[in-house]
Amino acid sequence: MKLLILFGLALLCGVESLKVLVYYPLPVRSVSILGSAVVKHLMDAGHEVTYVTVYPLKNMPPTLKQVDISGNEEMVAKDESLSIAHMLENNVQDTDVLFVQEFGKELSSQTFSNENFTKFLQDTSQRFDIVIADLFESEVCAGLSVVYDCPFIWFYSMGAHWHVLRLIDEGRNPAYDPDYLTTTVAPFSFLERTEQLWARIKYTVLKTFITMPAEKKMYEEIFTPLVAKRGRTLPEYEDVIYNASIIFGNEHNAVKRRPSTPQNFKYIGGMHIPDPVTPLPKKLQDLMDNAKHGVIYFSMGSFFKSKHLPKSLVRGLVKTFGELKETVLWKFEEDLPDLPSNLHILHWAPQSSILAHKNLKFFITHGGLLSSIEAIHFGVPVITIPVYFDQFTNARKAVENGYAIRVPLNYDLADNLKPAIKTMLSDDTYKKRVTELSAIYHDRLVPPGKEMVHWVEHVVRSRGAPHLRSPALDVPLYQRLYLDLLALILLILYIIKRIINILTRKSPKKNDKKKKN
């Protein structure tokens, strides 16, 4: 009897160890934090992972294989336009759509010509049960699922919106589903709604006529020989890129006004946050424990370096922070001279552990998506200083949700921060609101990391989860828009008009005849 029960349990819980290829080519540290979280959750569940990464993980068990593509870092290191100084100088508010698409394409090209990765792809003895690929603008890497003849999953580092939904379903109406490269959030004014429609048309035209043909060509060049080497022929590009089993979205339930999503879009936002958090280093723990007036934490993330801020602005910020009685932790990559006694520089900051500390009052952030999720996870209100890309949208969402104050990035930042800090310290509505959101966020069936592993296993068990596939993908656009019906109605109307014309042309003649008679 005992044996039978054990056998039954083994059947239920026992998933054999899967071989998973995790692909993260983007040279952006915060995105690679998501990649390493995917890797860790899968390894904890006993799966064998091969991780294609710009930032190889250290001190990992030998069962993790890594393909080092750190060469990709050159792509952003060279690009002057991606520094915080440039953003400040040019007051960048909107993102250039074609630039973003081209960047995605260039990233695929760079990665698939990386010496370490090409060597790995040549090895025909490699087998995988599933590929998980980070989705950033370019879909070329979907070809990996053809190489290894297995299902694939997109991991998307942001929330659901039409750019990504179109890959597994169709985009939602632009009247309420905002484009992530614009900075507006629903509900829209008339102008904003028009702007949304325009953004979508612009993106679609550029993608369809410029970027996608080039990506398709790249797909054929990269994958034809790799697939031939394995004795198969390459399927059409369009059949592959719309064939993901699932998209994981890095967002969560506490975010209002998300567009509805198909059954194979899964929210797993927060899965990168260690639970429980790792203990703080002793020095930092003591500092935070002993902060009588509480702690303020300031970080502009890892992509934009605080050290690239102009010297005068840095001096201004030091002065602003020095006037406070609270202890201030500033993540800054260099030492600064003559610091006031309440200001402490951290070259590296264990962010989750700092946000989890009970003495933390609030968080001053660039509002990257990971920081936004962490603020809600730990129930910490924020002052947000968006710099670039999705940060403007994140900032607007945070402000509309009532737990953030937005301060623009410009040369007056040090002065503009003062009233915001004062409000944060005196008004507790921000804290109350973020606590509410945090409760909603934590109210779920399973932790997000567990949920992610479940769906990965589910996809493999069900051979690509075709039952989750949206029917929208199999219906051509003209049918979805009922253009054929419209054409038929127009044709019928035309015929009726012709008949009426013929009939009425005859009758006046009769009348004429009568008159003559």
Whole-angstrom distance between the N-terminal and C-terminal Cα of the chain?
A: 109
Q: Which residue has the tokens 């104050």?
A: 405
Identify which of residues 129 and 390 has a Cβ nearer to ligand NAG in the complex.
Answer: 129
Binding residues for ligand NAG, total number by CB under 6 A: 15
The gap from C-alpha 158 to its chain's centroid, in whole angstroms, comes to 2
Identify which of residues 87 and 234 has a Cβ nearer to ligand NAG in the complex.
Answer: 234
What letter would DSSP give residue 482? T
CA torsion angle for 326, 330, 334, 336 (degrees, to 10)?
Answer: -20
Stretch of 87-95, 167-175, 202-210, 240-248 lying at the interface with ligand NAG (CB under 6 A): 240-248
Cα separation, 290 vs 177, whole angstroms: 46
CB of 116 to ligand NAG, least distance (A): 4
Look at residue 335 and give its three-state secondary structure. coil
Whether residue 170 contacts residue 61, with contact meaning beta carbons closer than 8 Å, is answered with no
Interface mask (CB under 6 A) for ligand NAG, residues 53-82, using x and -? ---------------xxxx-----------
Q: Does 239 bind ligand NAG (CB under 6 A)?
A: yes
Q: Count of CB atoms within 10 A of residue 380's CB?
A: 25
CB of 13 to ligand NAG, least distance (A): 24
| Given 16, 44, 79, 115, the residue binding ligand NAG (CB under 6 A) | 115
Write out the binding residues for ligand NAG, residues 448-477 only, by CB under 6 A. 464
CB of 68 to ligand NAG, least distance (A): 4
| Given 35, 151, 270, 301, the residue binding ligand NAG (CB under 6 A) | 151
When computed from its CA atoms, the radius of gyration of the chain, rounded to whole angstroms, is 28
Q: Count of CB atoms within 10 A of residue 456's CB?
A: 26
CB of 55 to ligand NAG, least distance (A): 11
CB of 66 to ligand NAG, least distance (A): 8
Look at residue 200 and give its three-state secondary structure. helix
Q: Does 294 bind ligand NAG (CB under 6 A)?
A: no
**Structural tokens at position 384:** 């947000």
Cα separation, 52 vs 66, whole angstroms: 6
Identify which of residues 219 and 363 has a Cβ nearer to ligand NAG in the complex.
Answer: 219
Cα separation, 157 vs 178, whole angstroms: 16
Identify which of residues 25 and 301 has a Cβ nearer to ligand NAG in the complex.
Answer: 25
Cα separation, 144 vs 24, whole angstroms: 13
Q: Does 243 bind ligand NAG (CB under 6 A)?
A: yes
Look at residue 436 and give its three-state secondary structure. helix
Cα separation, 7 vs 473, whole angstroms: 41
Identify which of residues 247 and 373 has a Cβ nearer to ligand NAG in the complex.
Answer: 247
| Given 30, 109, 116, 470, the residue binding ligand NAG (CB under 6 A) | 116
Helix (H) or strand (E) holding 239: helix 237-241
Reference 458, options 195, 153, 202; nearest CA is 153
Identify which of residues 114 and 302 has a Cβ nearer to ligand NAG in the complex.
Answer: 114
At position 225, the amino acid (one-letter code) is P
Q: Does 132 bind ligand NAG (CB under 6 A)?
A: no
CB of 26 to ligand NAG, least distance (A): 14
Q: Does 224 bind ligand NAG (CB under 6 A)?
A: no
Q: Does 240 bind ligand NAG (CB under 6 A)?
A: yes
**Structural tokens at position 203:** 């993106």
Whether residue 294 contacts residue 307, with contact meaning beta carbons closer than 8 Å, is answered with no
Identify which of residues 237 and 403 has a Cβ nearer to ligand NAG in the complex.
Answer: 237
CB of 73 to ligand NAG, least distance (A): 8
Stretch of 108-116, 174-182, 308-316, 360-368 lying at the interface with ligand NAG (CB under 6 A): 108-116
Stretch of 223-231, 235-243, 278-286, 388-396 lying at the interface with ligand NAG (CB under 6 A): 235-243
CB of 52 to ligand NAG, least distance (A): 11
Across the beta sheet with 343-346, what order do the strands follow?
A: 343-346, 327-331, 295-299, 360-365, 382-384, 404-406
Cα separation, 70 vs 510, whole angstroms: 88
**Structural tokens at position 164:** 């990504």
CB of 95 to ligand NAG, least distance (A): 27
CB of 243 to ligand NAG, least distance (A): 4
Q: Does 108 bind ligand NAG (CB under 6 A)?
A: no
The gap from C-alpha 7 to its chain's centroid, in whole angstroms, comes to 41
Backbone conformation region of residue 335, classed left if phi is above 0, alpha if psi is from -120 to 50, else beta: beta
| Given 133, 146, 181, 373, the residue binding ligand NAG (CB under 6 A) | 146
Residue nearest ligand NAG, CB atom distance: 464
CB of 152 to ligand NAG, least distance (A): 7
Site for ligand NAG, rule CB under 6 A: 68-71, 114-116, 146, 151, 235, 239-240, 243, 245, 464
